Amino acid sequence: MYARLREIVSLDGSIAVTLEAHQAIGLKGIILAGSEEQKARYLPKLASGEHIAAFCLTEPASGSDAASIQTRASLSEDKKHYILSGSKVWITNGGLANIFTVFAKTNVDSDGSVKDKITAFIVERDFGGVTNGKPEDKLGIRGSNICEVHFENTKVPVENVLGEVGGGLQVAMNILNSGRFSMGSSVAGMLKKLIEMTAEYACTRKQFNRNLSEFGLIQEKFALMAQKTYVMESMAYLTAGMLDQPGFPDCSIETAMVKVFSSEGAWQCVSEALQILGGSGYMRDYPYERMLRDARILLIFEGTNEILRMHIALTGLQHAGRILTARINELKRGNVTTVMDTVGRRLRDSLGRTVDLGLTGNLGAVHPSVVDSARKLEENVYYFGRTVETLLLRFGKTIVEEQMVLKRVANILINLYGMTAVLSRASRSMRAGLRNHDHEVLLANIFCTEAYFQNLFTLSQLDKYSPENVDEQIKKVSQQILERRAYICAHPLDRTS
């Protein structure tokens, strides 16, 4: 239901962000970690809109590194309140909110010693000592209220601790993980309207005595926008279905993949739409330039895409590592049987192994119209598994420092999840006889073909000695630039000295 709501309100980025800050992250902590008393006290008015919520985590010196926050909450002498002091920045709804989910450092007894740990609190503006700065002057989402929020000796009852004392970082991660999925439906809703407006322009605007819609490069842009919209929408609603299962299932990887794909797809598609519109798209008389400005924040907030790629890759590799640990240890010890088995598999792979994971055939899960795409997914999944085993054997625990490797692992995972989502959706549409199901099959097959070849190239880059891998050269270039903090090449008009 929330995914559908985000799709409806997405035509205005500021409204969408305001709603998301309230519902997806502002009050979500009470739903996920709140006591029954906290839910009964706060949720009714938050649900009705009488009260507005905000999520207060980011600080001037801590962005992606949430564990480094400095806001502190100290227990009062009578142990009835926490005294909260500190400042938060870039808080959406900060000037509107009545209820804040705030994260602060607290002293926690652990194994006989006192340690600083983050605790989450439900803070009412009426507690006193809560102030906010003026709204920030932003590039986009200019209609949203984003500002600094300050807490000065704010007395927070101990009953307003959200979750466990010292468990605030996990509460924050759970809130953010559960809220990211809706970006897919939100961006898809915006892109659907953008496609309509842009198509109307392309079908009526004439150049060289022909409508723009008749030119191949313009047609290519519409196919791209439709494909991206279809994929992110499929990923978002597949993930929403998972999240709707009882018991708050852990879908942190899936929600992160939806967020990364959707935010980057939004930026690419709005840019392509402006290209179709030409000069008109650049003018403030039309909504397109606002959409472009609004879209840029999507790659930054709710976790930057760089951080989320690390999360996707490392969480996936951690799971694979638990499964493959015994095999990797056998290989390292030189167990003859395991080594010969590995050599045999790689030899069969090099000769062109036929991969069958059960998606196709009479008992397969996919419709016959997408069988070729399903086989591409199966092949990608198989060789990705082999590559993951090689990476864990090569790097071990030090893989956490190999960010370029992790980025590629994440990109493959995102493509695989997108392929899975569109194959499932297109198959369902064909079997249910939904309108324009053939169009869905086209979009699914186009995406799966492109993702398949992207994955093959990325897999080749993960081989340290592959000519496609230029990681060391990239690191060297970056090091030379950052040492001098400048572009260091001579000007093309300079003469030899």
As a three-state string, the secondary structure of 166-193 is: CCHHHHHHHHHHHHCCHHHHHHHHHHHH
Please provide the DSSP assignment of 418-472 as one string.
Answer: HHHHHHHHHHHHHHHT-TTHHHHHHHHHHHHHHHHHHHHHHHHHTSTT-TT--HH
**What's the pLDDT score for residue 325?**
67
Name the token pair of 432.
């249910």
The catalytic position among 302, 379, 389, 440 is: 302
Q: pLDDT below 50 — which residues of the chain?
A: 336, 338-340, 342-344, 347, 350-351
**What's the pLDDT score for residue 340?**
47
| CA atoms within 13 A of residue 413's CA, in its CB half-sphere | 27
pLDDT digit string (tens) for 415-467? 999 999 999 999 999 999 999 999 999 999 999 999 999 999 999 999 878 88
Helices 252-277 & 305-333 angle (0-180, nearest 10): 130
Length of the chain: 497
Beta strand 161-162 with 146-157: parallel, antiparallel or unpaired? unpaired
| Helices of type H across 334-370 | 336-350
* 409: Cβ contacts below 8 Å, ≥ 6 apart: 312, 313, 316, 317, 388, 391, 462
Name the token pair of 43.
């949720």
**Is position 302 annotated as part of the catalytic site?**
yes
**What's the pLDDT score for residue 279?**
93
